[in-house]
Amino acid sequence: MNAPDPEQDALEQRVTELEAQLCARLAPEDFQLVQQLRQAEELAAIAACTAWEAHLCEALVRHFPEQALALRGVLAHLTATNADCDTLRGLPAGRHGA
């Protein structure tokens, strides 16, 4: 379901290029610190995105309290399927991969 994102691809390519330059210029122990920093930054970004997603979901539920159960169910489904489900592919809902 996830279409290629040219901007993300370009950013990932840039990161790869920068890592190659740093690897060539730095001592191995220094380059290891760069890799650790990158991993920590990625984990921080994931945590921030997860928190924002939870905040957005809660805001939707609070805006539509009568549909809270349905919204929570849909949000759980989208999370469980990584937003890659029949409905988002344009197929009838409820097929469950059939």
Residues 6+ apart with CB under 8 A from 95: 86
pTM of the model: 0.67
Per-residue model confidence (pLDDT) at position 89: 78
Render pLDDT for 20-70 as a digit per residue (tens, 0 to 9): 999 999 999 999 999 999 999 999 999 999 999 999 999 999 999 999 999
Q: What is the dihedral of CA 70, 74, 79, 82, to 10 degrees?
A: 180
* Confidence bin at 83 (pLDDT 50/70/90): confident
Cα(61)–Cα(26) distance, rounded to whole angstroms? Answer: 50
* Confidence bin at 78 (pLDDT 50/70/90): confident
Q: Are 31 and 23 in contact (CB under 8 A)?
A: yes
* Confidence bin at 18 (pLDDT 50/70/90): very high
